[in-house]
């Protein structure tokens, strides 16, 4: 009975999930969460996502970073991005720093140099462990003296190389290590670059921006509508294929399940959109469609219920609409066990009588307010659980589970105590943010897991 309905629904859930994954690349790229980790990608500390460095400067800067790590264990990452997607460079840098985990765990000896091409912003984000060395004043001076003079002339390679060298030199000096690196005999030419005209995202902006970020919520809305329609269709099919009032009422209630799944999906999508920095408003848009579907389903359910009120099971012999014996009168037509099952809520029995040929039909359907009794096998088992002791973080809890059979011919009864595990102190991550981030580890395909607290300085050039 159940599988016939559940299978299409499960299929739909899978299909929507798959479609959601396929559509993910359509979401605007280059937010802090989308910037690739250069260490993981190619054992580099430099990620030139804005394509403004060229191979020679990339090599030069990367060499400075590797040398710094070898000499001091401090990690310096230099990342360029086309644009900040509506974020401030400070927020973007903090987020990116946290995601990469630059510097080693416990030491927090990481530094991030972030340069945004479109906004013409540059920032030094300093890990906790280096805040005493690279104070905000030192960072500001390095930016003003080493970077901005070149960056302002669009000499990005030269400017970021000089800045990286200045940062590395400051850290090395503080540790009493020499980090003399000879500059190239001739400065490589600054490669040609293109400044993005259209931002890749639009947080709270209008115009061409909104067009771009709108696609995510729209896709999600479409998926939600499709999901709702297919789910509702499944409910309708189930309704029409079954015989009997209780079964049909059960089918209608399954629409709740469809709505529940819909909101689970919509909630996950909403969080995903928020996490990919679509903006709160744009992400909220994605919830409009499930709301509409929910309202539509509510109306649909109401109309099915009304239809069920005037339902008459067609007589198998003559085809006439049969009459249902009212619940309070059908006990006489049921056995003691059956009446007990109906009373306990484990079964529903319907006795239909044909007014024209007097034929009778009995329908039975399982209800889930009572379970099957292990002794008499009737669906008359009631289970209640009482908490004797609530679980805390320091000790587990105790729960008493009483199971009683309401079949008067059986009267099975059992009482058991069950221990519940103590509450864990760590809260699990949401796991819903959608993208899998490279995690912190000691292997060299990843940064060391260092943290920053917003220390550093930014400049517009």
For Zn ion, give the closer residue by CB, 91 or 361: 361
Token pair, residue 153, equals: 């002339």
Shortest gap between Cβ of 371 and Zn ion (angstroms)?
10
Shortest gap between Cβ of 257 and Zn ion (angstroms)?
30
Q: Quote the CA–CA distance of 36 and 375 in Å, as a whole number.
A: 61
> Does residue 340 touch Zn ion according to CB under 5 A?
no
> Does residue 409 touch Zn ion according to CB under 5 A?
no
From 292, 359, 367, 440, residue interacting with Zn ion (rule: CB under 5 A)? 359
Shortest gap between Cβ of 325 and Zn ion (angstroms)?
15
Shortest gap between Cβ of 343 and Zn ion (angstroms)?
13
In the block, residue with structure tokens 């972030």: 114
How buried is residue 106: exposed, middle or buried, by Cβ count under 10 Å (0-12/13-18/19+)? Answer: exposed
How buried is residue 312: exposed, middle or buried, by Cβ count under 10 Å (0-12/13-18/19+)? Answer: middle
Site for Zn ion in 361-380 (CB under 5 A): 373, 375-376
For Zn ion, give the closer residue by CB, 353 or 446: 353
How many binding residues for Zn ion (CB under 5 A)? 14
Site for Zn ion in 263-302 (CB under 5 A): none
Shortest gap between Cβ of 345 and Zn ion (angstroms)?
15
Helices (H), ranges, 181-287: 208-241, 245-275, 280-285
For Zn ion, give the closer residue by CB, 94 or 315: 315
> Does residue 324 touch Zn ion according to CB under 5 A?
no
For Zn ion, give the closer residue by CB, 384 or 445: 384
Shortest gap between Cβ of 411 and Zn ion (angstroms)?
7
Q: Which string of x and - marks every residue 20-59 that binds Zn ion (by CB under 5 A)?
A: ----------------------------------------
For Zn ion, give the closer residue by CB, 148 or 320: 320
Contact range with Zn ion by CB under 5 A, out of 20-28, 282-290, 332-340, 412-420: 412-420
> Does residue 407 touch Zn ion according to CB under 5 A?
yes
For Zn ion, give the closer residue by CB, 226 or 324: 324
Instruction: Give every strand in the sheet of 381-389, ordered side by side.
Output: 381-389, 397-405, 413-420
Q: Quote the CA–CA distance of 146 and 165 in Å, as a whole number.
A: 9
Shortest gap between Cβ of 354 and Zn ion (angstroms)?
3
Contact range with Zn ion by CB under 5 A, out of 21-29, 90-98, 330-338, 409-417: 409-417
Kindly report the number of other CB atoms within 10 A of residue 60's CB atom.
23
Distances in Å between the Cα of 91 and the Cα atoms of 35, 94, 175, 209, 242 are 14, 5, 29, 20, 57
Distances in Å between the Cα of 34 and the Cα atoms of 76, 84, 91, 276, 449 are 19, 11, 15, 8, 18
Q: Can you list the positions of beta strands (E) in 325-380?
A: 347-353, 360-366
For Zn ion, give the closer residue by CB, 253 or 323: 323
For Zn ion, give the closer residue by CB, 171 or 381: 381
Shortest gap between Cβ of 287 and Zn ion (angstroms)?
47
Q: Which string of x and - marks every residue 300-319 that binds Zn ion (by CB under 5 A)?
A: ---------------x-xx-
For Zn ion, give the closer residue by CB, 67 or 375: 375
> Does residue 347 touch Zn ion according to CB under 5 A?
no
What are the percentages of helix, strand and coil residues in the chain, rounded to 5? 45, 15, 40
For Zn ion, give the closer residue by CB, 148 or 357: 357
Contact range with Zn ion by CB under 5 A, out of 133-141, 187-195, 334-342, 346-354: 346-354
Phi, psi dihedrals of residue 381, rounded to the nearest 5°: -90, 120
Q: Quote the CA–CA distance of 64 and 195 in Å, as a whole number.
A: 27
> Does residue 412 touch Zn ion according to CB under 5 A?
yes
Q: Quote the CA–CA distance of 361 and 316 in Å, as a whole number.
A: 9
Contact range with Zn ion by CB under 5 A, out of 1-9, 76-84, 338-346, 348-356: 348-356
> Does residue 242 touch Zn ion according to CB under 5 A?
no
> Does residue 357 touch Zn ion according to CB under 5 A?
yes
Helix, strand counts (H, E) of the chain: 12, 11
Closest to 445 in 3D by CA, of 88, 135, 87, 101: 101
In the block, residue with structure tokens 């981030």: 437
Three-state secondary-structure class, residue 16 = helix
Shortest gap between Cβ of 415 and Zn ion (angstroms)?
15
Q: Quote the CA–CA distance of 55 and 32 in Å, as a whole number.
A: 23
Closest to 51 in 3D by CA, of 91, 77, 83: 83
> Does residue 405 touch Zn ion according to CB under 5 A?
yes
Interface with Zn ion by CB under 5 A: which residues? Answer: 315, 317-318, 320, 354, 357, 359, 373, 375-376, 405, 407, 410, 412
């Amino acid at each position: 009975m159940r599988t016939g309905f559940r299978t299409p629904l499960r299929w739909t859930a899978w299909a929507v999930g798959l479609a959601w994954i396929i559509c993910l690349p359509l979401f605007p790229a280059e937010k802090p969460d989308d910037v690739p980790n250069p260490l993981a990608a190619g054992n580099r500390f430099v990620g030139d996502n804005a394509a403004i460095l060229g191979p020679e400067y990339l090599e030069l800067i990367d060499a400075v970073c590797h040398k710094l790590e070898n000499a001091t264990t401090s990690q310096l990452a230099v990342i360029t991005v086309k644009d900040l997607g509506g974020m401030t460079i400070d927020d973007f840098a903090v987020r990116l720093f946290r995601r990469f985990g630059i510097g080693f765990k416990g030491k927090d000896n990481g530094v991030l140099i972030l340069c945004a091409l479109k906004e013409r912003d540059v920032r030094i984000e300093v890990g906790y462990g280096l805040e005493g060395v690279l104070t905000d004043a030192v960072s500001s001076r390095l930016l003003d003296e080493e970077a901005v003079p070149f960056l302002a002339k669009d000499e990005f390679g030269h400017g970021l190389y000089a800045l990286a060298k200045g940062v590395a030199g400051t850290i090395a000096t503080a540790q009493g290590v020499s980090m003399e690196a000879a500059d190239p005999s001739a400065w490589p030419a600054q490669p040609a670059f293109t400044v993005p005209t259209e931002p890749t995202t639009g947080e709270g902006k209008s115009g061409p921006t909104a067009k771009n970020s709108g696609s995510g919520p729209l896709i999600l809305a479409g998926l939600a509508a499709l999901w709702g329609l297919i789910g509702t269709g499944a409910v309708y099919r189930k309704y029409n294929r079954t015989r009997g009032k209780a079964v049909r009422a059960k089918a209608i209630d399954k629409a709740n399940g469809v709505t529940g799944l819909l909101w689970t999906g919509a909630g996950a999508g909403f969080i995903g959109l928020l996490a990919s920095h679509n903006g709160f408003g744009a992400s909220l848009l994605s919830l409009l469609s499930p709301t509409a579907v929910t309202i539509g389903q509510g109306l649909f359910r109401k109309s099915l219920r009304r239809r069920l009120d005037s339902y008459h099971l067609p007589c198998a012999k003559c085809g006439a609409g049969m009459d249902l014996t009212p619940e309070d009168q059908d006990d006489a037509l049921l056995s003691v066990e059956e009446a007990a099952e109906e009373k306990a809520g484990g079964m529903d029995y319907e006795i239909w009588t044909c007014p024209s040929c007097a034929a009778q039909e009995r329908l039975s359907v399982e209800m889930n307010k009572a379970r099957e009794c292990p002794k008499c096998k009737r669906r008359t088992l009631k289970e209640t659980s009482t908490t004797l002791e609530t679980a805390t973080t320091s000790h587990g809890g105790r729960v008493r589970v009483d199971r009683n059979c309401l079949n008067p011919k059986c009267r099975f009864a059992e009482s058991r105590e069950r221990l519940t595990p103590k509450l864990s102190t760590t809260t699990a991550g949401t796991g819903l943010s959608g993208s899998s981030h490279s995690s912190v580890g000691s292997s060299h395909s990843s940064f060391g897991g260092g943290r920053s607290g917003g220390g550093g300085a930014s400049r517009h050039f």
